[in-house]
Amino acid sequence: MTHCYQCGTKLVPRELEREGIVPFCPKCGEFRFPIFSTAMSTTLLSPGRDKALLIQQYGRARNVLVAGYLSKGENAEHAVVREIQEEVGLNVTHMAFVKSTNFGPSNTLMLHYLTVVDSEDLSGMTDEVDKAEWFPLEEARKQVLTPSLAQRFLFMALDRLEHGEIVLLQADTENLWQG
């Protein structure tokens, strides 16, 4: 970023206490920190927590995870619930945050969640998805696209789940916009 995203003035380097040198807009009088996109993805479990859902999209025969960008003003938990609803028509009952990763190629901070939904019924799948299929957890590890960020996230989520390192909390879908 070489110019201010508010007013277009050329940014100048300025010392900020405890942060080091940060680009500064002399016209706005504001430091301008890096801008990047934020997206979520999720390892999605069946109600019995013994199967994971993999999807195919954009005409590509490869199994990945439900994922999507956050909307402006939206928090990550809301985006997780919304994307699952929009892509496969399922309702989240439980969720837990797993891991974040900075994905350089698209300048995106990816937030990975583990979620449980209320049904295995895929009849509510939308045209955003070409194909969706439940796999037993060990089979899902074999079927996910390799190598991929989806694979890394899936393995991380399942490993932590199997080692009892993840606490799945009931999703408070009424209050997801808050906080």
In the complex, the residues that contact Zn ion under the rule CB under 5 A are 4, 6-7, 9, 25, 27-28
Q: How far is the CB of 27 from Zn ion (least distance, A)?
A: 5
Place of tokens 């277009």: 8
- CB-CB neighbours of 22 under 10 Å: 14
CA distance 122 to 57: 15
Nearer Cβ to Zn ion (25/96): 25
Nearer Cβ to Zn ion (30/139): 30
CA distance 160 to 167: 10
Q: How far is the CB of 3 from Zn ion (least distance, A)?
A: 8
What counts of helices (H) and strands (E) characterise the chain? 3, 10
Q: How far is the CB of 12 from Zn ion (least distance, A)?
A: 11
Residue count (the chain): 179
Nearer Cβ to Zn ion (4/39): 4
Nearer Cβ to Zn ion (9/173): 9
Which ranges in the chain belong to alpha helices (H)? 76-88, 137-143, 149-162
Q: How far is the CB of 32 from Zn ion (least distance, A)?
A: 7
Nearer Cβ to Zn ion (29/48): 29
